[in-house]
Structure 1
Amino acid sequence: MSFLVVANFKSHKTSKEVDSWLASVPSSPNVLVAPSFPSLPLALTRWPSSVCAQDVSPFPLGSYTGAVSAQELSSLGVKYCLIGHSERRHYFHETALDIAGKAKELVESGITPVICLRQEDLSPDRAALDDTSISASYFCYEPPADIGGSLTAPLEDIQNITDQIKQLFNTSRVMYGGSVNADNVASLPPLNLSGVIVSTASLDPISFNQIIAQLSHVKN
């Protein structure tokens, strides 16, 4: 199992900016870049095995205007995909059933889901997800209060929730996301995590390279 570091750009970068960022950050099998949909083909030319989509449709190929299916992502070469991010749940009103549908589509297309969870999502998502999807996925605890700001959650609280996720989903592949930066990232691996999602601090390649350097001691 690898310790993953995911750079989630959200909707912050154009394709030109993504290209510049990729030229400034050394590629690694355990470092994933998650640009928005239009920049995926470009990112895959630079990092063919380390690209993560930010979302996917819960539906297969078909008449679903505006949707991007798991089959389409797989045909591009995408290996990972975020689903269930708190911004998707909040702004787009996605439910546990939506997340479960997306996970199923991804797994059937050979893409590893990275399922983002708030504390209140644990029980509904566990009830909705099938065992095959669970065993194929990474899970990432993201407290909404810490997204896009500063890391305010005490480490013991992060440990408590991530341990709950491990027990509830019977998995060891649990990550953390929420204002991860070069100043605090070194405190997270001792919590026995499997990776981190970095958003705001990933936008500047210098800042992101500092994060990678802080994690250089983590065994993969």
Structure 2
Amino acid sequence: MCFENIHNLCKENGIMIHALPISGYFNHGLFNYSLKFFMRLAVFNDYEFLSCKLLQVGVDNNCNTYIEHEKILRHLDDLEGAYEYLDSSKSMDLKYPHTSGGCGFNIVVAFKKTTNKPFSFPLDRPMFKYKTRETLKFFLKDKADSINSVAIFGSKVAASHIREFLESCGIEILCYIDDYNTGSINGIDIVSRDKFIQDYKDKCDFIFKGPLQRGEIDVGVEVIESKWAWFY
């Protein structure tokens, strides 16, 4: 209800700023927030992401007061990197309640409200089911405008996620590129690199690569590597 009220009170093109605990603070307040929550909040409400930072909060042993200092870790286009940091040995003290010398993180997010549509509560589902061209811009910024026809490197599970994601954004899938598999998937041909260069290269804006796809592909077309954050 708090986030809906903020949405309703903000004018179109107005700015909303949220600053909340994301790690540590185990006995502070009734809710814990996540990077995923704010990404979902933006996608479901067509917010423009202006800024997302994590602020490290430490405890001064002498006066036992919180001292905040800015520490930029990652933007939300690299969710895996941010989670990896928070789960690493560098931040082990974040996993335990505040004690003298302990620390935590606040998340500070700035959104721009781009429409006056009613508030849409974020849901924790695979996000590709809700994708539109505007959602693609959330991940790829201005590059999204030049994506119309693409190929997918690989033809396994991650490739099927990318296909559903892109098709829901109105993107044409020309083919899958795979040196070890043949045939077709959902009517889309699986071709070798040589066949791609011969028949598809001139029609292809970008090649999309799955997050688990190993190997490199160099066929004269820019490769975009997808992130698991696109699907979860």
Q: TM-score, normalised by structure 1?
A: 0.28
Q: TM-score, normalised by structure 2?
A: 0.27
Give the structure with the higher percent strand: 2
Give the structure with the higher percent helix: 1
Greater gyration radius: 2
